[in-house]
Structure 1
Amino acid sequence: MSTIKEVAELAGVSIATVSYVINGTKHVAPATEARVHQAVETLNYRINHFASNIKSGKSGSIAFLMADMSNPFFLETAVSLEKSLREAKYNLILANTDEKVNLEKEQVDHLLDHAIDGLIIAPCTVNNFYLKNMLPANFPLVFFDRIPANMHADCVLSDNRKGSLEAVEYLISLGHKRIGIISGMSGLTSTVEREMGYIEALENHGIPLDRNLMLNGDGRKFSGYQSMQQLMDITDITAVFITNNMMSLGALQFLNDNKIAVPKNLSMVIFDDYDWSSMCSPSLTSVKQNTILLGKTIAEVILARLSGTVSNTNFCEHRIQTQLIKRASCLKINK
């Protein structure tokens, strides 16, 4: 493997000049710069970023620790986030916790060993106090989608309560009063906030709350299948609101397997909107999260932390508005 010294000798310049050209840290005459680039190409020289990172204490990388990498919501947000960070000359590292706290801790420890400059995390628990002992003081940290209970940090998330409120009020406007709700993991702030919107909508219209119509799952497809089965077996619901996109797939599978027609037999609204929401039959009324704006906002927040332009004690909660997309899965009733 060639060295920077060999590049300098071939180009007829100093090692410092090669460094200036490679890193873009100082203006070099165009002819000199061209000789350096030619030498780099001739010798197939590769920059030792690892050694540079150790020396500078910076890696140029930011990690995004997702709770479920199979969930399109996280991936779509990551695409937008990566684009914004790339424009700012940062690389994005993706990691997955599979909604497991022990794996989340292991991933954080592993990422810190690789000298990441900042961490974005969608936590799988509200108890993230362990991070206080793992992260260096004032380490750039942003929580996404879920709010920690015992840490002060920047957070970027959708307006879950309002999104759910609009969805359930839409069902009520169509005459539905027996509305079931299938939510994700209990305790997570995204789950709690979406349930709050559901309850608020019922209260606004004088509909008594029936806890039998409220079920929680683990955020997986099979859990959605089981929850939908339970609701249909023991309740008389005319509509269902599903607050987790992966569980929506399981619920739809149960309805299809049991020949329960949407919306003829059951109206449905889901939280999250993807291509399959409009392509399936019937197309699904959905609460759309703005993943593009979420990703851009996360990037803006963590880049501000990295630049030191915001106070280390001035943490903010950034809420991105949702949009109710009305499609064919809801039917007006006269009950």
Structure 2
Amino acid sequence: MTEQSATHRNPSRDGVVAAARAIAEILPPTPLLPVEIGGVTVHVKAENLQPIGAFKIRGGWWRLVNLSEQERAAGVVAVSSGNHAQGVAWAARRLGIAATIVMPHDAPQVKLDNTRALGAEVVPYQRPGEDRDEVAAGLIAENGGTLVHAFGDPWVIEGQGSAGIEIAAQLGREPSRIVACCGGGGLSAGLALACPASAIHLVEPEGWDMVGQAISQGRLVSVADPAPATICDALQPNVTKRINLDLLRGRAEPGVTVSDDEVRDAQRWAFANMRLVIEPGGAAALAAALAGKVPLDEGSVIMVTGGNADPAAFAATIAGEACATRV
């Protein structure tokens, strides 16, 4: 177990490969499903079928198994709208580590309930209004513990990248391109390390393209104030981290954005064509592919990253009804 501080460690491809080995010991590979889009057969990586319903289980597990015994005893703190929360909580319960998760007060109820059911303590914060990182820092200052950042932690980045190692093994080669839903950039950065020969396409919600803008401008960019509304609750970090930007500059293709309507179309398409339940944030990459916003060839893989959909909102989407509330 390493005791290096997350601020003094750079993620590496060797770390991604090690994470993939560790994750393969406890979880089976998620399916790589062939689908036809625009006359081209591509593959969809169904991370919504993970035990917690999202890819975040990868980074949560790899981070927590790398804690020292002293760090495990002190517990962990994370900030999340719900999927990272469940990934950390799942790993913490399995490893016997206390977990406290700072979550937005308006997170989907299914994510709040699932996180608590996994044994984590949930501390709500107001969104907008409060800085979740400040809330987490206050908890650590008061009670101790290790911060497990949702996307800016080197071990978390490596853990998320394990999906790329898995994809290459399933295909028998690295994909030509990977289209990935993007919030803070942890998954995209991990995939860039895992598959150095693959083009990485970032897909973010309209008005929340903080990673795409940061790559274009070469600096960290914060979301507008007031922040725009989006149904993609899982893709709403206010700003990425320098570690993510450094890994993605020169590797990621120009980012694209998708609208709420395009995301809903993707949810309906996945349900009708793949029998998959996908939450809005988990459908962003598929939305871009279906809308023709990213190039596709037969070596392309589209990441479907989460399936923790609010039941009522998902039912309304499948029925073709717009839902004005954040889901």
- If the length of structure 1 is used for normalisation, what is the TM-score? 0.31
Larger Rg: 1
Higher relative contact order (CA 8 A, sep 6+): 2
